[in-house]
Structure 1
Amino acid sequence: VIAWSLHHRRWMAAFAVLSFFGAIGLQAKFGGSSFLPQADAGFLAIEVRSPASSSLDYSKLKLDAAAALASTMPETKATTAYPNAAGGRIYVDIGKSTERQRSAAEVAKDLREKVARLVGAEYVVLDDLNNGAQKPVQIRFYGTDSRKLQEITLDFQKTMQGIKGAVDIGYSEQDPQNELQIELDRGLANQMGISVNDAAQALRVAFAGVEAGDWIDPTGEARDVAIRLHPADRVDAANIERLPIAVSGTNRMVPLDQIATVTMGKGPGQIQHGDGKRTITVSANAQGRSPGEITSEAKKLAEKIDFPPGFGIELAGAARDQQVVFTAMITALLSGIALMYFVLVIQFNSFTAPLGVMLSLPLSLIGVVLALLMTGGTLNLMSLIGVIMLMGLVAKNAILLLDATRQE
């Protein structure tokens, strides 16, 4: 074979080039990427998020319902629940991979279909706990207005449902809560001699309360006394409209509804910040496809959104870590190859002699792609480390062959 190859160099060169581009095409079409390789650690996690303002007892009921479903699966050995007011998490022990016929991903798919029948809370099944028990696909939206940001992310969440392999699509924001919205007519208020601070102080007394003094209880201990509206009155828009606002410098009082509009509406349950910006993260699990493929497709869809000024997107979680690590490792690999070339130029005292060594390096990727496709693996941090080691071995062998050829 070696003798035939040496006598048919053009054919071998053409075959090598076609094999290289064929391997790259196979990786682009059928290969996938992720930050870390998927591990079967023998545990699954069920993330439960109950509606806003739910009680701890309600969350416990929802966790018990999910744990009962998980216990019906033949692989389940035990379940452990950790409830909290916002929901909680259940860890499902499915045993070692050698003791069961199905992989953790297959068990998670079955469990995901079971918990989808439950109502009253949001259930997310995590089969790979390498990423800190988080969804591997995360797109973070940022902007200056939380309500507009929530509107954009809700629309994008619906759009992501059309991505093949994206499951358990959700976003980090809690369900909107009822809130009292007061829109102050600043022009009218200024004409009446009422500043924004005057209105804010009156509302502060009504909702937060104001300290009115202290009281000595029968035991002789001093107690602070604060005055504010009754809880039932604080959620009644009609009562708030009649709240008197003092006009600065006078003894007159003006009802709030004369200078403001009071309505009941929906507002974000919490406001999240990242790098000084308001953010909401849309996330998803990957099923049947690699996280890198789904992240790439989701990012393309997000980039098509016509964002208002001050709004945008960025990767988050494992997707962001993958982008940072891949960029750093590829930069290091290319820098190492360039440094190797200059060292060989000095060693062989020729700019053309080391080209044979350099041309052998990309051909090593053919075996990498075939190995990943045969084993069902993804291009990740560990496989990139293997690529760097492989290129070092290929370069060493090529240098030995080149040196032996030049000596002959």
Structure 2
Amino acid sequence: MRELDTSLRDSFRQVSFQFRLMEIGPSPASKIEARIIGSDPQVLRDLATQVEDIFNADSGARNIRHDWRERTKDLLPQFNESQARRLGISKQDLADTLQMAFGGSAIGLFRDGTEMLPIVVRLPEEERVDFSTVQNLKLWSPALQTYVPIQQVVDDISLDWVEPLIQRQDRKRTLTVLADHDILGDETAASLFGRLRPQVEAIDLPVGYSIEWGGEYESSNDAQEALFSSLPMGYLFMFIITVFLFNSIRQPIVIWLTVPLAVIGVAIGLLATNSAFSFTALLGVLSLSGMVLKNGIVLMDQINIETHSGKDPYQAVVDSAISRVRPVSMAALTTILGMMPLVFDAFFGSMAVTIMFGLGFATVLTLVIVPVLYALFYRIKPSEA
């Protein structure tokens, strides 16, 4: 890809090309998409030019383009309505004649075995490529019952720029400026988007025009919105279960306070492996919270057993932490080893790194932070002896 990136830029300077890594899951047209919404095509193109200038000014942006592409030239006949009515000729008659002469009109189908081939009538090629042929075209006049020259209903033919492709979203004209990050570099699309977004949103938009963001940003937000819509209720039920389990409020709070601290291990793992915090990594964090809770529940239950056996509270906490070292560590180790094959997977790699490093650090949290928090909440201190 590096060789192609260099050779294509040198050999084909006006060609638009794009490199993409294999992806599993939603894959938008480009990682960064700025949708400009409005009514006037010329204003949309002017705003798109400003957005493209911002993208081009950033050295990390690649494959900058928009989905309306370039304008094309069309020959537009100026139809004389009053004269055409006198001759009994409509705009459709003129359009059909021009289509037949230069594009071709289907007049039937030819069956060749199981295939249906259209029968098209049109002028010979040497006449189609020469637009002066239009001067010799004639239209049938129902009023005069004869053919009349096309000049009788066409005052003039002008050459003008037109939009060959107009994209719409929600029935509104939408021009999308697209860009990608350098997939051969170390920068992610999210970091590039973070730099470009404030500059684009600072553009002074006319009344009735707006900018929306698509690409990876939209896909990620849609996925997270679907996920987080039910997440609070799930965590609420988990907390209620832990309250019923211990018949207490303080003990579940001690366990739950260790869950956010697992993010420290996650951050270290992602930085050490140069992995992105993708959607699968987010799923890994959610899974990790359940594992941390499980380890905390096991230790808390052991503390209660030791305390109810008649031990000194301080000694009960210490003995519980020591006795849980082996089962908690072995459970974490087996999970980490089970995740190792996924580390090199293109889709689940970030999730595996998140769970491995987060769970390894969470083991330390369970054996150290939970006893400390328990002692603080219940004001347990060493005995004088």
Shorter chain as normaliser: what TM range? Answer: 0.5 to 0.7
Is 2:16 the partner of 1:117?
Answer: no
Is 2:214 the partner of 1:315?
Answer: yes
Q: 1:126 aligns to what?
A: 19
Q: 2:227 aligns with which of 305, 329, 333?
A: 329
Contact 1:147 1:267 (8 Å CA) reproduced: no
Is 2:281 the partner of 1:380?
Answer: no
Identity %: 21
Deviation at 1:294, TM superposition (A): 2.4
Return the alpha-carbon distance in structure 1 between the equivalents of residues 218 and 293 of structure 2.
32
Q: What amino acid does structure 1 have at the position aligned with 2:189?
A: P
Distance 1:406 1:374, change over 3 A: same
Is 2:96 the partner of 1:201?
Answer: yes
Return the alpha-carbon distance in structure 2 between the equivalents of residues 311 and 254 of structure 1.
49
1:288-330 deviation line (CA, Å, top 9, x unaligned): 42112223444555554626758754413x4443232233334
Return the alpha-carbon distance in structure 1 between the equivalents of residues 250 and 82 of structure 2.
79
Distance 1:212 1:113, change over 3 A: closer
Contact 2:87 2:144 (8 Å CA) reproduced: no
Distance 1:197 1:167, change over 3 A: same
Return the alpha-carbon distance in structure 2 between the equivalents of residues 342 and 213 of structure 1.
73
Is 2:39 the partner of 1:162?
Answer: no
- Between Structure 1 and Structure 2, the one with more helix by share is 2
Q: CA RMSD in A?
A: 4.4
Deviation at 1:340, TM superposition (A): 0.9
Task: State the secondary structure of the residue aligned to 1:262.
Answer: strand
Q: Comparing 172-181 with 205-214, which one deviates more in the overlay? A: 205-214
- Between Structure 1 and Structure 2, the one with more strand by share is 1
Q: What amino acid does structure 1 have at the position aligned with 2:178?
A: S
Q: What amino acid does structure 2 have at the position aligned with 1:122?
A: V
Return the alpha-carbon distance in structure 2 between the equivalents of residues 186 and 295 of structure 1.
53
Return the alpha-carbon distance in structure 2 between the equivalents of residues 225 and 111 of structure 1.
43
Task: State the secondary structure of the residue aligned to 2:277.
Answer: coil
Work out the number of aligned pairs and report it: 291
Counting only pairs closer than 5 Å after superposition, residues 251-400 of structure 1 correspond to structure 2 as 253=148, 255=150, 262-268=157-163, 270=165, 280-287=175-182, 288-303=186-201, 304=203, 306=205, 309=208, 313-316=212-215, 318-400=216-298
Contact 1:234 1:240 (8 Å CA) reproduced: no
Return the alpha-carbon distance in structure 1 between the equivalents of residues 234 and 167 of structure 2.
41
Distance 1:173 1:210, change over 3 A: closer
Q: What amino acid does structure 2 have at the position aligned with 1:199?
A: L
Return the alpha-carbon distance in structure 2 between the equivalents of residues 249 and 150 of structure 1.
46
Q: What amino acid does structure 1 have at the position aligned with 2:291?
A: L
Return the alpha-carbon distance in structure 2 between the equivalents of residues 160 and 185 of structure 1.
47
Return the alpha-carbon distance in structure 2 between the equivalents of residues 265 and 310 of structure 1.
26
Return the alpha-carbon distance in structure 1 between the equivalents of residues 297 and 43 of structure 2.
60
Q: What amino acid does structure 2 have at the position aligned with 1:327?
A: E
Distance 1:224 1:162, change over 3 A: closer
Deviation at 1:390, TM superposition (A): 1.7
Counting only pairs closer than 5 Å after superposition, residues 24-43 of structure 1 correspond to structure 2 as none
Counting only pairs closer than 5 Å after superposition, residues 80-229 of structure 1 correspond to structure 2 as 108=2, 111-119=4-12, 121-126=14-19, 128-130=21-23, 135-141=30-36, 149=44, 152-182=47-77, 184=79, 195-209=90-104, 226-228=121-123
Distance 1:261 1:152, change over 3 A: farther
Deviation at 1:126, TM superposition (A): 1.9
Distance 1:112 1:155, change over 3 A: same
Return the alpha-carbon distance in structure 2 between the equivalents of residues 231 and 307 of structure 1.
48
